[in-house]
Chains A and B, each alone.
Chain A
Amino acid sequence: MASIAQETSSMHEHDVPLELTTEDGSLRILGFWIFLAAEVILFSCLFATYIVMHGMTSGGPTSKALYDVPGFTLETFFLLTSSFTCGIATYEMRRGNKRGVIAWMLITIAFGLGFLGLEIKEFVTDALAGATMQRSGFLSAFFTLVGTHGLHVTMGIFWMASVVIQIAIRGIDTMTSRKMFIVGLYWHFLDVVWIFIFTVVYLTGKVL
C-alpha cells in the first residue's frame, strides 16, 4: 500500500513508532495533544460550574439522594476497561497484528456502548423521578457536565468504528497507525475526565 505522506530521512524505523515516521503524522499527533489541552479547559469550566452550583438544589433532589452507587460504579468499570482494551489494541498495532487491533478495538467499542447504555439508563431514571435539568441549577450543571462527557464518548465510538473499518481495508500503515494512535489518545483522555467525574461528582456527591 503506497503511503503518500513524506518520509523524514534520518529516522530508523525500528526506533520510532510507525505513526511518527512521517512529518504529517508527527504534526497531527502534536496538534491533537494541543487540542486536548483546549478540551481540558472546556471540561474545567464545566467542573467549575458544577462545583459552584452543587448546592443550588432549589428544593429539588440533592446529589446524595440522586446518585446511584451501583450504577456509576458499573459505568466506571466499563469505561476504564474499555481504556485498557484500547491500550491492548495499540500494543497489537505496535506488533503489526492487524487482526488483533480490530478485535481489541471492537471489544473497546462494545464496552463503550455498554457505558453509554448505562448512562442513558441513569439519565432516564433520573428524569422519570423528576430530576431533570429544568428542576434546579445543580441539576443543570450535573447533566451538562456528565452529558457533555457522554456526547464525547458517543463521538469517540463513531470515530473508533471508522478507524477500525479503515484498518480492515488498508491494514496498518503510516496513516492508519496515526489515526489509531490519535483516537486512542482521545479515548484515554475521556477516561481521565471520567475519573474526575467519578471523584468530584459522584463520590463527593454521595458524601457532601
Chain B
Amino acid sequence: MMHQLVHFGDTFLMWKEGPMIWGSDVLIGLTSVGIVFFLLYFKKVKWLWTEWLTTVDHKKIGIMYILAALLMLFRGGTDALLMRSQLAFPNEHFLTAQHYDQIFTTHGTIMILFMAMPFVIGLMNIAVPLMIGARDVAFPYLNAISFWMFFFGAMLFNLSFVLGGSPDGGWTSYPPYVEQMFDPGPGENYYIMGLQIAGIGTIATGVNFLVTILKMRAPGMTLMKMPMFVWSILITSALILFAFPALTVVLAQLLIDRVAGAHFFTTTGGGMPMMYINEFWIWGHPEVYIVILPAFGVFSEVVSTFASKRLFGYSAMVASMVGITVLSFGVWVHHFFTMGAGAAVNSFFGISTMAIAIPTGVKVFNWLSTMWKGRIRFTLPMMWTSAFIPCFVLGGGVTGVMLAVAPADYQFHNSYFLIAHFHYTLIGGTVFGMLAGLTYWWPKMFGFQLDERRGRWAFWWFVIGFNVCFLPQFLLGMMGMTRRMYTYPTGLGWWIPNLISTVGGFMMGVGFLLLVYQIVWSILHQQKDLTGDPWDARTLEWSLPSPAPEYNFARTPVIHGRDEWWYIKRGKFKQEFVEPDIRPIHMPNSTGRPFLLALCMFLVGFGFVFEWYVFVALGLAGVLALMIRRSFEFDYYHYIPALEIRQTEEALGRL
C-alpha cells in the first residue's frame, strides 16, 4: 500500500521533480483552501451558484471570461519570467531542459488559447448585445456552455503541471516529436484535450455571435449602421466558424495516433507529419486574425470616442476587414517556408502574406484620419490605443513584410527575430487592444471607474518594459539564436541582449502587478459612474445605466444612423422606441446544466489524458444525458414583470 502511494506520488504527482513542483502544489493547495474558506465564511456559496455558475447573462459571462483571461495572463507571464530568468545569463541550468521545454509550451498555449481568446470573447460578450440594442445573445444557454467548456479546458491544461507533467512539444506541438514514440506520457494528451474542449466552446461562440449580429439588431440598424466593433466581431465569428473545425480535426487525429496507435503523423506505417503542419496552420493563421480583428474593432471605437469625431472611412474599414479575413485563409504556408514546398508555392504565399499589409495599412491611415482635426483626450483607453499604433506598425507591418519575403524567412524562421515579430503583434496588437477595451468598458460592466493615475503607472511600466524586452530580440535572431533554446553558450555575444530582454520582461511583470493594484484600488475607492456615459461616447451601450440592468434595454430602441447615441445627445436624432410603454420582458432561466456539461467534458478529457476509459465513458454518458434533458425542456423562460422593470428604471433615474 505504502509502496503504491509512493509510486503514485512519483509518477503522477512528480514529487521527485523538485522544489518548483512542491512549491506549486503548496500554492495550489493553499489557494484552493483559501477559496473554500472564503466562500464558507462569508456564506457566499449560494451566491456563487445562483449569480455566477448558473448564469446565462452575457454580461456576467463576459466578466467571467475576462477574469479568467487575467488569471491566465498571470500564469503565462510567470512562465515567461521563469524563461527570461534562465536566459538572463549564459549556461544557466536552474531549469532543466525538460522543465524549460514544458514552460515554453505552456506559456505559448496559455497566452494564445487561454488568455487572448477568452479576453476577446469576454469583450464580445459584454459589448456586442449592448451595442446592437439586444437583450442578450441569440443562444444564452449555448453561451454559458461556451464559457464553461473554455473554463474546464483551461483547468485541465493547467492541471498538467502538478499531475502527470505538462506538454513539452511547443504550443505548435509538431509531430513526429509529439507522437508516442518520442514523447510518451500524459503531457501531450493534456495539450490535445485542453484545446479540444475549449475549441468546441469557441465554435459555439462563433455560431452564437453570427446569429446574434445578423438577426438581433434593433430596428433601423442596418449592417452599415452598426458600430465598427460589432463589424469586427461579425467577421471574427465567421473566421472562428471556418478555422476552428480544422483544429478540431487535427487534434483528434493526433489523439487517435497517440491513444489508438494510428498512423496519421508517425514516422512509420505511412504517416505524414507534414500533413499535421498544414492542417495546424490552416487553423493557426486565421487564429491570429481572430485575436487581432476584435482589437482593431476596439481601436475604432476608442479612437472615435476620444477624438470626439466619427470614424473616418467606415466603408473602407469594413472592406479592409473583409479583405484581411479572406486573405488570411490563403497565407498559411508562410509558417513553414523552410519545409521544402518549392519556389512556386513559397513565392505565391509570400506575396499573399505581403498583400495583407495593404488592408491593414488602410485601417491605420483611417484611424489617423479620425484623430486628425479631432479633440483627442488621452484617457487610458486612448493611451493603450496610442501605444498600439507604433508597436503594431513596427512589429506587424515592417517585420511582418520582411518575414513574408521567403528567402529572408529562410534566415529568420524559428529565430528570435520571429519571436520578436509575433510578440509585437500579439502584445502590441491584441493585449493592448484588450486592455484598451477593458478600461473603456469597465464602467459599463461594474458601475464605477478605474483609477486613471494608477492605470498610467501600469501603462508606462508595461509598455516601456515590453519594448525593452522585445526590441533586442530582433537583434538576437540575426545573431543566430533560435527559439526554444533552454540555455545558450558564452562567446557568441548573446548575453547582453538577453540580459536587457530579461530586464524588460520584469518591467512588464511590474506593469502587470500595477494593473492588478489599479483594479483593487479602484474597487476599494469606488468612483461611481452615475450617468452611464462617463466618456461622452457615441454608441448605444452608453445610453444605458452603469452597470446595465439584467434585461439591458427596458424598451427596444429604434435606430436612425451610425453613432445613434451621440446624435441623440446632440439633438439630431430623436430617441424612439419600438414599444410605446414598458412591457414584461422575456428572459431565459439560469441553469446549472452548462456547468455540469462542461464538467462532464472535463471528465472525458481527463480520461483520455491518462487513457482511463472509464472516465471517458462516464463523461460522455453525462453529456448525452444532459443534452437529452435539454432537448425535452420546453419551459426555460420567465417574464420580468413590467412593474419590476419600471421600478428598476426609476431607481436608476431613467424615468
In-complex A–B contact (CB below 8 Å): yes
Q: Report the Cα distance A35→B206, complex, angstroms.
A: 9
Residue A166 CB within 8 A of the other chain: yes
Q: Which of B592-634 contact A (CB under 8 A)?
A: 624, 628, 631-632, 634
Which chain B residues border A159 with CB–CB below 8 Å?
631
Contact yes or no, A6 B270, CB < 8 A: no
Residue A76 CB within 8 A of the other chain: no
Which chain A residues border B208 with CB–CB below 8 Å?
31
A47 shortest CB reach to chain B, Å: 10
Contact yes or no, B269 A58, CB < 8 A: yes
Which chain B residues border A137 with CB–CB below 8 Å?
262-264, 266, 269-272
- B211's nearest neighbour on chain A, judged by CB, is A31
Residue in A30, A49, A139 with the greatest tally of chain B CB atoms within 10 Å? A49
Of the residues A34, A39, A49, A136, contact of B270 by C-beta under 8 Å: A136
Contact yes or no, B632 A162, CB < 8 A: yes
**Given A27-B139, A166-B631: A37 touches B242 (CB 8 Å cut-off):** yes
Contact yes or no, B256 A30, CB < 8 A: no
Q: Which of A135-185 contact B (CB under 8 A)?
A: 135-141, 144, 158-159, 162-163, 166, 170, 175, 179
Q: Report the Cα distance A59→B385, complex, angstroms.
A: 59
Q: Report the Cα distance A42→B279, complex, angstroms.
A: 11
Contact yes or no, B632 A144, CB < 8 A: no
Residue A118 CB within 8 A of the other chain: no
Of the residues B215, B241, B246, B264, contact of A30 by C-beta under 8 Å: B215
Contact yes or no, A39 B245, CB < 8 A: yes
B73 shortest CB reach to chain A, Å: 29
A106 shortest CB reach to chain B, Å: 18
Residue A203 CB within 8 A of the other chain: no
Which chain A residues border B257 with CB–CB below 8 Å?
140
Which chain A residues border B245 with CB–CB below 8 Å?
38-39, 41-42, 45
Which chain A residues border B637 with CB–CB below 8 Å?
4
Contact yes or no, A134 B260, CB < 8 A: yes
Which chain B residues border A34 with CB–CB below 8 Å?
207, 210-211, 241
B598 shortest CB reach to chain A, Å: 18
Contact yes or no, B270 A53, CB < 8 A: yes
Which chain A residues border B269 with CB–CB below 8 Å?
58, 134-137
- B256's nearest neighbour on chain A, judged by CB, is A144
Which chain B residues border A58 with CB–CB below 8 Å?
263, 268-270
Which chain B residues border A124 with CB–CB below 8 Å?
none
Tally of contact residues, B, Cβ under 8 A: 46
Q: Report the Cα distance A41→B257, complex, angstroms.
A: 21
Q: What string of 1s and 0s marks CB contacts (under 8 Å) between B249-289 and chain A? A: 11011001100111110101111100100010010000000
Q: Report the Cα distance A145→B203, complex, angstroms.
A: 20
Which chain A residues border B260 with CB–CB below 8 Å?
133-134
**Given A6-B586, A26-B215, A134-B261: A49 touches B632 (CB 8 Å cut-off):** no
B401 shortest CB reach to chain A, Å: 29
Residue B214 CB within 8 A of the other chain: yes
Q: Which of A99-144 contact B (CB under 8 A)?
A: 133-141, 144
Contact yes or no, B632 A27, CB < 8 A: no
Contact yes or no, A46 B249, CB < 8 A: yes
Which chain A residues border B481 with CB–CB below 8 Å?
none
Residue B581 CB within 8 A of the other chain: no
Contact yes or no, B249 A45, CB < 8 A: yes
Residue A56 CB within 8 A of the other chain: yes
Q: Report the Cα distance A1→B589, complex, angstroms.
A: 21
Residue A69 CB within 8 A of the other chain: no
Which chain B residues border A163 with CB–CB below 8 Å?
631
Residue A74 CB within 8 A of the other chain: no
16 additional A-B residue pairs with CB within 8 Å, beyond A31-B208, A49-B253, A140-B256:
A4-B635, A38-B206, A38-B207, A39-B245, A45-B249, A45-B279, A48-B279, A49-B275, A52-B275, A56-B270, A58-B268, A133-B260, A136-B270, A140-B263, A144-B262, A162-B631
28 contacts between A and B (CB under 8 A): A6-B586, A26-B215, A27-B138, A31-B208, A31-B211, A34-B210, A34-B211, A38-B207, A41-B241, A41-B242, A42-B248, A46-B249, A49-B249, A49-B275, A53-B270, A53-B272, A56-B272, A133-B262, A134-B260, A135-B269, A136-B269, A137-B263, A140-B257, A144-B252, A158-B628, A162-B628, A162-B631, A170-B634
Q: List residues of chain A with CB under 8 Å of any chain B CB.
A: 4, 6, 26-28, 30-31, 34-35, 37-39, 41-42, 45-46, 48-49, 52-53, 56-58, 133-141, 144, 158-159, 162-163, 166, 170, 175, 179
